[in-house]
Structure 1
Amino acid sequence: MVVRRGKSRSRGRFQTDLANARLHMLLKACPDPVLIKDAEGFWYRMNQAAQRLFAIHSPQSSKLSPEEARQRYPHLAESFVCNRQEDEHAWQAHQTLSEQVVFWGPEQTPQRLQVQRTPYYYPDGSRWCLVITATPAASPPSQGSLHQSLFELEMIMEATDTAVWQFDAGQHLLRANHIAWHWMGYPASTPPEVPNTCLLFQSNPWQIGFQEALRSQQTTRTSIETWPLASGALLEVEVDRIPYRHGSTLAGIVVLARDITAYRETARALADSEERYRTILNEIQDGYFEVDLAGNLRFFNPALSTILGYTAQELAGLNYRAYTNEDQTQLLYQSFHSVYRSRHSAMTEWQIIRKDGTPRYVNATVSLILNADDQPAGFRGLVRDITDHKQAELELRYLAHHDPLTALPNRSQFIAEIQSAIAESQDHQQSFALLFVDLDRFKNVNDTLGHPAGDQLLQQVADTLKKVIRQKDMVARTGGDEFAVLLRPMTRAEDLSAIAARILEQLQKPWHIAGQEFRCPGSIGIALYPHDGSDPDTLLKHADVAMYRAKNLGGNRFVLYNATMNRQSSDYVLLESDLNQALKQRQFILHYQPQMNSQTGQIYGVEALVRWQRPNGSLVPPNDFIPFAEHSGLIIPIGQQVFAEACRQTAQWQAKGRPLHKVAINLSARQFQQPDLQAMIMQILETTGCPPQAVEIEITESAAMENVAYTLRILKAFRDMGMSIALDDFGTGFSSLRYLKEFPITSLKIDQSFVHDVLYETKSRAIVKTVIELANNLGVAVIAEGAETQEQVNALQDLGCSVIQGYYFSRPLPADALEHFMNRYR
C-alpha cells in the first residue's frame, strides 16, 4: 500500500479510526477463535469466539503481559495460548506455522484444534503483531463403509468456508467444493477433468507450490500467496498442501485455501494506522501518556521521557507519585477523579519533579479510557512543559509588585501593605508609622559619576535600610531616590525617633562607589496612623510634605508631620494651577539677549529666555517657576511653547532681513530626555518656516551626561538637520571632557561664574583661557556669558574670546525692543 505524504492529521486520524473499526467488525464476525499479540507477547485483542473457547467472560480492558495473562487465567497457563516458544518459532520462520493440539476446555473435555500462528511485520521489518487462530482439527477416519466416508467427506468440503481441491498423483483433479469451482470460474457440476487447464492452475504461485508438494511429499502449512481468479480478481489466500498416500505410495495432494484478502487489507490498514499513530506520537513535542486507574504508566511517547527526565525503561509502569511532590499529589488526584466522575476531558496544571530533582511546571489535557464494556479503565492525555511560560508569569507578577533595581516592594505593593496595616491596627487598636526617605544629594552622584553609579548607590541604600528596620517592618522604593518605610506597630515615640535617627546615621556614612568616596545623607518625613491620616493616600501625602519640610530645613534630619505644613503644600498646588492656566492663556513670553562680537561690533546671535507675564502685567523671573515646572513635569509643554515662539520670531526676523546669525534656545534636562523631542522640533521648524541653520540648541553638561548614548544619538540627529549645538555652563561639570570629542558640539559657553572672577582670581582666568584654547583646538566657537563691565570684556578679548553675552551689551529684551537694538547695530 502506498502511503500518501502531505495529508492532514484529521485525514490520518480518520483512516486510523476506519482501519480499527474494520478490524473490530472482522474479528466480531469471524466464527473461529482469534487472539492477537503484540511484538512483546502482550495480549491486546481477541474476538468473542476466542472468549468462549478460553472461558473468558470479562475480557481485559487493556493490554496484558504474558505474566499477567497466566496469573489472571491460570486454566490457560499450559495451553497453546501461552506457549511463547511456539510464538517465537513463528516469528523466526517469517511465515504461518500450523500445529494440531489437544485443548482442554472449561468442561474438562478435550478438543482437537488446528492452531495457526501468523506473524506480521512493519515495513521496516520490525515485528508488529502475531495473529493466533484455532479451528477444529479433522478427526481420524472412522471404521464405516467407504460410501459413508465419501458422503461425510463431501459434506465437510461443502460446509467449510475454505476452498478444497483433491488431486491424484498425476495432478488430475478428482473433486473440489463449490468455493473452489467458483474461484476457477466453473459451475460445481463441471466434470473434474475439464478445468485442468484453467487460469488458476496455470499461474506461477499454483505451479510452484504444487510442484514443491509433489517433490517433497511433505505437508506445506499456511503459505500465503496471491492467486488470479477466472473473474480477473486477485485473491490473497492462505494455502495448505497436504500429500496423502496409499500405503507408502503417494496417492495425491489435497489443497486447502482460505480467502484472507479482506483480513490482509485490514491488517495492512491497521499497520498503516499504527505506523501513523506511532510516527505522530514520536514526533510531537508534547508528552503522551496512558495510565491505569491507579496512576501507573502503561504507555507513553519519547517526549514524556524527555519531560520527566527518565529513560523509557525506568518510566514503564512508574506511578505518578514518583514524579509528583506531596503538595501536588492531592491536586492531581482531584483532577483525575473529576474526569473519572464526569467522563469529560479536563485540563489540569501541576508541578512535577524530574528524576534529577528539578521542578518543572506542566499542564495536561486528560480524558478517560473506557474498556469494551464502556467502563473506566484508565486515563490518557497530552502533557506540555510550561515551565518557561510559568516562570515568565511569576516574574511578571513579581515585577508588578517589586522594584527591578533594588528588589524592594514598589509603590503599589507598599500601598497594599499600608491597607493591611490599617485593617490590623483597627482590629488591635494599634498605631503605625510611615517614613518617607529621600536622598539629599543623589542628583550630584548621577551628574558626576553617571547613572550606573547612581544605581549602585540606590542598591546600597536599599540594603542598608533593610538592615536598619525591624524584621516585622517593611521598606519599599517608591520612585527615583525615594524610599518608604512602614513601622508596624509603633506604640512608643522614643522607638520611632530611635529608628529614624539610626536611618539618618547610616545614610550619613561615606559611600564607596566607582573607586570614589562621597556622602549622600537623607531627609525623612514621618506620618502616624491614625493621627495624620486614615487612608494610604493621605498618609503618603503627609509623609511627603514632612520630608520636603526636612529638606527645606537643610536636610539630614527627620520631621514629623503637622497640619501647618499643609499651607506650604497648598502654595505648591496653587502654583501648579497657575502654571497650567498660564499655558492655556499663553502667558509665557520670550526676551532675547544679544550675543555680540566684541571685535566687529556686530550681533553674533541671540539667546531666547522665557518670562512669565501675569495678567496684571508683572513679570515672574524664571528662577521662581522653572524649578517647580521641572519637578511637576510642566516644563515639557512650557518648553514646547517657548521653542515654537522662538522659531516663529526668528523666521519673521529673517524674512525682514534682520542681521541675525542664529537664535539659541535652551533645553532643560527633562526636556532633553523626552522620547518625541526630535519629532517635535522637526514639526515646529516645518510649521514656522524657520531654517534649522538659524537655531542653536543649548544643553547643560548635566543634561548631556544623564544618558550618554542617547545624547550622542540625538545631538547627531540635530546636527544632521543643520542645527548648531552649544554646551552651556561649560566647566561646572566633571565628566564632559571625556565625551567632548564625541559630542557634535559647535560652541562652548563659558559659565558666568568664571567670567565674573576673571579679573581677580588666577584660577578662574586660567580656566577661561584653557576653555578658549580647548575650543580653538577642537574647531568650535566659544561664547562667554555674564560680562557686565568693560574690564571683563577687555580681559576676555585678551584671552582670545570675542563672542560675549552679558549686561554690558544688553539685558534680555522683548522682540520689538531687540529690533531697535539690531537696527542700531546694523
Structure 2
Amino acid sequence: MHKFFTWNNLDQLYNMIPSAIFTVNTNRIITSINNKAANLFGYPAEEIVGRSCTEFCYGPCCSHCRLFDDGVPKPATGEGIIKTRSGLVRIILKNIDLLRDNEGAIIGGIETFEDITERKKTEEALAESEERYRTLFERTASPILVTDTKGNYIDCNEAACQFLELSREELLTLNVRDLLPKGWEKRPQAHKILWKTEGVIEAEYLIKNRIKIMELTVTPAIWQGKAVVFGVGKDITERKQAEEKMRRMAYYDSLTGLPNRAFFKEKLTAAIIKSRSKKQKLAILFLDLDRFKTVNDIMGHDVGDQLLKDVAKRLKKRVGKGRVVARLSGDEFIILLPNVSRIEDVRKFAEDVCENLRKPFTIAGRNFHVTTSIGITVFPDNGEDAKTLLKNADIAMYKAKEQGGNSYEVYTFAMNEMAMAKLELENSLRAALERHEFTLFYQPQVHGMTGEIVGMEALIRWKHPEKGLISPAEFIPVAEETGLIVPIGEWVLYTACMQNKYWQQKGYAPIRVAVNLSARQFQQRNLVSMIARVLKQTGLDPNCLELEITESVAMQNLENTIKLVKQLKDLGVHISIDDFGTGYASLSYLKLFPPIDTLKIDRSFVRDISQNPRNASDALVATMIVLAKNLKLKVVAEGVENEKQLKFLLERQCDEFQGFFFGKPVPAKEFEQFLTRQPFKMEFIDDRAGEF
C-alpha cells in the first residue's frame, strides 16, 4: 500500500473530500486541516495548524470540543457556531470521531463539518412564518375551517369553535355533513363546501336546534402536503334574520300572517307562466267581507282585527296546500287555485268558502256573523296576465256585492262594460264641481196644524252636460265610495246656507233648511269646524240649519255619534234622525244622545199606510209617533203623497210633512213660489186635527 500511496497522494485526497475536515490532538490543538475547512475559516491552512480549535469557536466552547475532559471520551454529533477571519458567524453541523494509535489509545480526534448557516436561516424564517400564520389563524376574529377532500374537519381556529359552540377536539371528530340541517346537503349551496368549488357561499349550521348562518369564502388548497378546502367565514345570522324580517314585512301581512298583495302577484305571475306552458287553467277568487266596516266601527278595531285573523285562519285551513290565500288590504282576501279543469269545481269551492265563513265567529264571548262577496276570474278565459285577472276579479266581486252579498259571481265581459261606465261616471264626477254642474233642489216641509211652510230639504242634482239630469241615487254611491262626497257635501252645505240667507235678506220669513250628512262626511275629523266656518261665511243663523243623519250612519259608532252630536248641538244647529225604522236602531238608543230635535219617518212606511188596523206599517208608524213624542221629539213624515196618508198621520198627531202631496223638489227660483203662497188648507181633516 505504501508503495502506491505517498503522503502527497494522501494530502491530495484529503483536500478532495467535499466536507470540511480537521484533526486535533488531545490538547485540542489542530494538527491538520483540509482546504475546504481552511476556506470556511478564512485562513491559509498553515496559519490554522498548531492553534487551539477553541480560538475559532464563537462564545463558550461547545460540548463537542470537551470530549476529552470527562475521562470517558465519546464520539459526538451536533451543531456548533464558529467565527471566521472576516468576523462572520457561521453555523456548522459537525461530527467528531476519535483517533487511536496502533495500541488503541486515544491520541486525538477528527472533526467533519458542513456550513448550514443558510439552511438554518431558511428554517428559522419558515418557523417564524408558520408562527405568524398560526398566530393569525388563531387570533383572527373570522371563523376559519379546514376540511379534507371528504369533508372531514382537520383544523379550525378559536372563532370557528365559538361560532359552532364546539371545542376544537370535538369539531375535529366531525364531518361537514354532521352540522348541516336535514336536507341541506342537497341544496346547490352545499356543493361548494362538499366538493371544493371555489367561491362565496352561505352555509347553514344546525347548532343546538337552532340555525346559524355563516358566509364562507371557500378555497381549495394544498396544506401540509394534503389537498384541503379552506373556508374563511363571517357570521351573518343576525343579518339574515333581519333580511328575513324585512322580507316578511315586504311579502306578508303583519296582522294575519298571510301573504300580502306583492307576494300574491309574484305567485300569480309564476303560476300563469306555468299554466301557459302546460296549457292548464287557473282561477282566482277575490273576497270582500260584507258589512265588516259596521262591525269594525261599532265594536272597535280590536274586535275587527281579531275577526280578520279568525277569517284568515279559516281561509288558510280551507284552501290547504298547493294553493295560495293572501290578504290584499282591509277586509279583502284573494285565493289562487292552480290547475283548474272545470269551472264547476271553482263554483263549488266558492260556495264552500261562503258557507264556511257564514258560521259564527266567537270573539270575547260574543258571536259575530260575517258573510262574503266573491269575484271569480279564470286564466286564460278572463285575462292572460296578473293585472287583468285581478282587475276583472275585483269587478266580479263588486257585482256579487251589488246582488246583496253572501254570494259569488264569475266574471263576464258585460261586467267590464258596467265597470267602465262606472269609471266614466267617476271621472265626470271629479270634474263636476269645477265645472259648476251641480245644483240644489228644495222640497217644502209643512206644519201639520197651520199648513205653513216651516222648512225645506236641500237635495242635490247633477246636470251632466251630455246625459242631462242624473239622479243622486246613481252618483251619490260613487261619490261616497271615492271620497268625493266630502267636497261635494261641503258645497251642498255652503250653497244651501247661502240660499237660505239670501231669501231672508229678500224679506222672506226665516225657515229652516235641512241638509243630509253622508256616512263619509260623518267620519270627517274637521266636520264640526267646517260647519262652523260655513255658518260664519254665509252669516246664516245656526237655528235655521238642520243636519240630517241617517239612522244607519248614527248607529255605526255610537260613542263617536254621541260625541259628535253634542258638538253640533253646541253650534246651535238642529239635528234630525233621517230614514228612521230602516236600520237596526231603537228609540232607547236615542235617549243616550244629547237632545235630538227631529225624527223623520222613512217614506217606505208612509207609502204602505192603508188605515187598516191590522196593517204592519200602520202599527209601526203609530208606535214611532207615540214613542218619539214621549221623548219630546218632533216627528216629520217623509213621502206623503195623498190625503189618505196625510189624514192618518194627522190623526196620530204627526208634526210635519214632506212629500209630493205638498210639492216636489224644485230649483231655488221655483221654490220662491212656496215662500209667497198661502198656507195649505186642511179642511178635509176631521175635528181631531184641532187637538194640535
TM-score, scaled to structure 2:
0.59
The corresponding residue for 2:656 is 803
State the distance in 1 between where 2:621 and 2:281 align.
Answer: 60
**What letter corresponds to residue 661 of structure 2 in structure 1?**
Y
Q: Distance in 2 between matches of 1:588 and 1:624?
A: 14
Contact kept? 1:437, 1:522, Cα under 8 Å: yes
Question: Quick check: 1:594 aligned with 2:440?
Answer: no
1:823 and 2:669 matched: no
The alignment status of 1:749 with 2:604, answered yes or no, reads: no
Tell me, yes or no, if the aligned pair for 1:468 and 1:499 is still in contact at 8 Å.
no
Task: Report the aligned-residue RMSD.
Answer: 4.7
Matched, 1:703 2:553: yes
CA contact (8 A) 1:447 1:702 kept: no
* 1:607/1:663 contact within 8 Å kept: yes
Q: Distance in 2 between matches of 1:549 and 1:792?
A: 37
Asked if 1:668 corresponds to 2:518, the answer is yes
Structure 2: how far apart are the matches of 1:399 and 1:707? 31
- Count the aligned residue pairs: 481
Q: Quote the Cα distance in structure 1 between the aligned partners of 2:210 and 2:630.
A: 63
In the TM superposition, what is the alpha-carbon distance from 1:524 to its structure 2 partner?
2.8
Distance 1:459 1:617, change over 3 A: closer
Q: Distance in 2 between matches of 1:616 and 1:295?
A: 77
The residue type paired with residue 507 of structure 2 is G
CA distance in 1, matches of 2:564, 2:291: 28
Change (3 A) 1:404 1:682: farther
Unaligned segments of structure 1, at least 5 residues: 1-106, 108-291, 297-317, 329-350, 362-385
Query: Does 1:547 pair with 2:397?
Result: yes
Q: CA deviation at 1:663?
A: 1.0
Q: Is residue 689 of structure 1 aligned with residue 539 of structure 2?
A: yes
- Specify the SS of the correspondent of 1:748: strand
* TM-superposed deviation, 1:736: 5.0
Summarize deviations over 1:42-88 as a string: whole Å, max 9, x none.
Answer: xxxxxxxxxxxxxxxxxxxxxxxxxxxxxxxxxxxxxxxxxxxxxxx
How far does residue 681 in structure 1 lie from its aligned partner after superposition?
2.7
Report the Cα distance in structure 2 between the residues aligned to 1:563 and 1:684, rounded to whole angstroms. 46
How far apart are 1:497 and its partner, in Å? 4.2
Displacement of 1:471 in angstroms is 1.0
Does structure 1 conserve the Cα–Cα contact (< 8 Å) formed by 2:298 and 2:558? no
Q: Is the 8 A contact 1:603 1:659 kept in 2?
A: no
Q: Matched residues, percent identical?
A: 45
Q: 1:435 aligns with which of 285, 289, 306?
A: 285
Q: CA, structure 1 residues 398+824, in 2 after alignment: closer, same or farther (shift >3 Å)?
A: farther
666-675 vs 497-506, which deviates more?
A: 497-506
8 Å CA contact 1:523–1:550 kept in 2: the answer is yes
SS at 2:389 equivalent = helix
Structure 2 unaligned blocks of 5 or more: 1-59, 61-137, 143-160, 168-178, 182-203, 214-237, 680-692
Q: Secondary structure at the match of 1:569?
A: helix
> Match of 1:814?
667
Superposed CA offset, 1:669-712 (max 9, x none): 12212333334333333333333332211111211222233323
Alignment match, 2:470:
620
8 A Cα contact 1:533 1:539, kept in partner: yes
SS in 1 for 2:503: helix
Match of 1:776 among 629, 641, 650: 629
Q: Output the CA distance in 1 between the equivalents of 2:245 and 2:647.
A: 65
Q: Higher mean Cα deviation, 602-611 or 429-438?
A: 429-438
Paired position in structure 2 for 1:269:
none
- Which residue of structure 2 lines up, in the alignment, with residue 483 of structure 1? 333
The yes-or-no answer on 1:789 pairing with 2:642 is yes
Rate the CA distance shift 1:685–1:553 in 2: closer, same or farther, 3 A.
closer
Aligned residue number for residue 15 of structure 1: none
2:323 corresponds to which of 446, 449, 473:
473
Aligned-partner Cα distance in 2 for 1:459–1:808: 52
The 5-angstrom pairing of residues 692-731 of structure 1 reads 692-731=542-581
The alignment partner of 1:625 has SS state of: helix
2: distance between equivalents of 1:556 and 1:617? 34
Aligned pair in 2 of structure 1 residues 511, 602: CA closer, same or farther (>3 Å)? same
Larger Rg belongs to: 2
User: How far does residue 555 in structure 1 lie from its aligned partner after superposition?
Assistant: 5.3
1:346-387 Cα shifts (integer Å, max 9, x gaps): xxxxx9x999x99999xxxxxxxxxxxxxxxxxxxxxxxx99
Alignment partners' CA distance in 1, 2:647 and 2:586: 28
CA shift, 1:537, in A, is: 1.8
In structure 2, the CA distance between the partners of 1:794 and 1:660, relative to structure 1 (3 Å rule), is: farther
Residue of structure 1 in register with 2:426 after alignment = 576
Distance apart, 1:643 and its partner CA = 1.7
Which of 254, 258, 261 is 1:408 aligned to? 258
Change beyond 3 A, Cα 1:808–1:451: farther
The residue aligned with 1:331 is: none
- Equivalences for 1:388-399 in 2 at 5 Å? 398=248
Instruction: Write the letter of the residue equivalent to 1:678.
Output: V
The verdict on how the C-alpha distance between 1:596 and 1:358 changes in structure 2, with shifts beyond 3 A counting, is farther
1:603 aligns with 453
Cα offsets for 1:650-673 (capped at 9, x unmatched): 221222232233211101112212
Q: Match of 2:506, as an amino acid?
A: K
| Paired letter, 2:268 | I
| Residues 295 and 320 in structure 1, CA contact (< 8 A), matched pair in contact too | no
Q: Is the 8 A contact 1:447 1:705 kept in 2?
A: no
CA–CA separation in structure 2 for the residues paired with 1:490 and 1:616: 45
The residue aligned with 1:645 is 495
The yes-or-no answer on 1:293 pairing with 2:139 is yes
Q: What secondary structure is seen at the aligned counterpart in 2 of 1:606?
A: strand
Change in 2 beyond 3 A, CA 1:419/1:819: same
Q: State the distance in 1 between where 2:552 and 2:621 align.
A: 20
- Does the Cα contact within 8 Å between 1:596 and 1:809 map onto a contact in 2? yes
Shift in Å, 1:822: 1.0
Distance 1:686 1:412, change over 3 A: farther
Q: Deviations over 1:249-270 (max 9, x none)?
A: xxxxxxxxxxxxxxxxxxxxxx
Q: Which amino acid aligns with 2:483?
A: G
- CA–CA distance in 1 between the matches of 2:259 and 2:627? 48
Q: Distance in 1 between matches of 2:523 and 2:373?
A: 27
C-alpha contact 2:448 2:656 (8 A) present in aligned 1: yes
- 1:800: how far off? 2.8
- Cα–Cα, structure 1 residues 608 and 294, in superposed 2: closer, same or farther, change >3 Å? same
For residues 617 and 825 of structure 1, do their structure 2 counterparts lie closer, same or farther at Cα, with a shift above 3 Å needed?
farther
Look up the match of 1:343.
none
1:584 alignment partner, SS class: coil
Pick the aligned partner of 2:267 from 386, 393, 417.
Answer: 417
Deviation at 1:454, TM superposition (A): 5.8
Task: Classify 1:762/1:606 alpha carbon distance in 2 versus 1 (closer, same or farther; 3 Å).
Answer: same
CA distance in 2, matches of 1:791, 1:511: 47
1:732 pairs with 2:582: yes
SS class of match (2:434): helix
